[in-house]
Amino acid sequence: MNREELDAAYNNTKAAANFPELLREFQACSVRTYNTYNWVRDLRYGDKPRERYDFLSCGLNKAPTYLFIHGGYWSNCTKEDFAFIAEGPLAHGMNVILAEYTLAPEATMTEIVKQIGMLIERVITDTDDLGIVGNPLYLAGHSAGGHLSALYRSHAKVSKIHMISALVDLEPISLSWLQDSLNLTTDEINLYSPLLHIQKGAPTLISVGAGELSELVRHSTDYAVVCENIGETVGLIHLPKATHFSMLNDLADPDGWQIKALMQIQ
């Protein structure tokens, strides 16, 4: 594809004619979720302003924790935009963590990846006394967040991975409009493209909307095929009629396809 085609292939917000309305709806639902449940807000895993996370307990002993990393092409959005997704995991007996990280271009890809590693270490040691030490950790993320979760798929303390419309191939992204803020180096493209480094790791659910841009569908499908070819435990869902953003409504639904599939994968 040429530059114009690549720009269109990775422009999820333009593909969604009503994106501003969708984001406002997500934010309103998230406010209600924060107000409904007893969250612990803005716990620190580092010294930088965005090195923080929110925690919601399901109230069950030994419950797994669903750690969700938001998307926004590594350069937009906040965890506060997506608190509403907690409804689905919570209904299935999971604690929920919403992760925040420094956005590009303030942070490089290398720095963002490192921050997620810092957060994982904070959570597995339960430094904040949340009562989750030793409990299963499910690492999840949407879009850019799915990319960040995939990079830690082989972490010894991660029990399951949930990649939602994940971005796993950075080379075409570096040739598109996104490079203007990401400033990806050649080393970062090679090192942080999960598709190039699939190895033994946690059981993984890959979900993508059947109505998404074709490049997003390709990323998920290619990753699943490579995992299957090397004998990894992986499930792939092409959610009927779902778009890049409506995938999150399914995740928030206690009866949604994704959360049920994640429970079943072993």
Residue 17 has pLDDT above 80, yes or no: no
Helix (H, G, I), strand (E, B) or coil at 28: helix
Q: Residue 73's closest CA among 225, 199, 215?
A: 215
Q: Can the peptide bond before residue 136 be classed as cis, meaning omega within 30 degrees of 0? A: no
Confidence band for 248, pLDDT divided at 50, 70 and 90: very high
Q: Residue 209's closest CA among 146, 137, 116, 138?
A: 146
Confidence band for 19, pLDDT divided at 50, 70 and 90: confident
Q: Which of 19-23, 24-28, 60-64, 257-261 has the lowest mean pLDDT?
A: 19-23
Taken as a whole, the chain contains a residue count of 266
pLDDT, tens only, 27-52: 999 999 999 999 999 999 999 999 99
DSSP secondary structure letters along 244-255: TTHHHHHHHSTT
pLDDT at 18: 86
For 37-49, b/e burial (b = at least 16 CB within 10 A) is eebeeebebeebe
pLDDT, tens only, 144-160: 999 999 999 999 999 99
Paired strand residues for 208: 238
Residue 86 has pLDDT above 90, yes or no: yes
pLDDT at 119: 98
pLDDT, tens only, 171-223: 999 999 999 999 999 999 999 999 999 999 999 999 999 999 999 999 999 99
CB 139 within 8 A of CB 163: no
Burial of 13 (0-12, 13-18, 19+ CB in 10 A): middle
pLDDT at 15: 86
Written as one letter, the residue type at 4 is E
DSSP category for residue 47: S
DSSP secondary structure letters along 172-227: HHHTSTTHHHH---HHHHHHT-GGG---S-S-EEEEEETTS-HHHHHHHHHHHHHH
Residue 16 has pLDDT above 90, yes or no: no
Q: Residue 123's closest CA among 143, 95, 164, 144?
A: 95
Let me know if domain 3-264 sits in CATH 3.20.20.450.
no
pLDDT at 198: 95
CB 33 within 8 A of CB 41: no
pTM of the full predicted structure? 0.97
Mean pLDDT of the chain: 97
Task: Phi first, then psi: give them for residue 90, nearest 5 degrees.
Answer: -60, -40
Could you give the CA distance from residue 256 to residue 16 in angstroms, rounded to a whole number?
21
State the distance between the two ends of the chain, measured CA to CA, in whole angstroms: 38
pLDDT at 197: 95
